[in-house]
Amino acid sequence: MVEENISTENVKEKAEEESGDGYMEIKMGGGWYITISLTHSDRFEKEYIELAKERGGLKKARFNLNPTHVRLLGEALIKFADNNGL
C-alpha cells in the first residue's frame, strides 16, 4: 500500500511539471519507469501514443496506441482499479 501512494505522488508531480508537452513518466520500483509519449510516424504520417517500460534509458517493452483510444483506456484502467480495490 505504501508503494502505491508513492507512485501516485510521483505521477502527479510529473504531470504538473510536464503537462502539455506530450511526455509523462511514472516512477516504479527498482529503477523502472513507465513512459507515455505522443509520437509521430514519418512512414504513415500519423500520431500515436507510445507506452513503454524503461530502465536505464533503454525501452524494454513498448505498446503503440491510437490516440482516439487513450481516454477509453484510462477510464478502463480506473474502473479496473476500483472494481479490484487497487
For 22, list phi and psi in degrees, rounded to 5. 80, 20
Res. 10 pLDDT band, cuts 50 70 90: low
User: Would you give the DSSP letter of residue 83?
Assistant: H
Per the prediction, the chain carries an average pLDDT of 80
Question: Rounded mean pLDDT of 31-40?
Answer: 90
- The helix (H) or strand (E) run that includes residue 23 is strand 23-27
pLDDT score of 79 more than 90: yes
State the DSSP string of 40-59.
Answer: EETTTTEEEEEEEEEETTEE
Instruction: Quote the domain boundaries for residue 23.
Output: 2-83
The total number of structural domains in the chain stands at: 1
Res. 9 pLDDT band, cuts 50 70 90: low
CA distance 74 to 30: 25
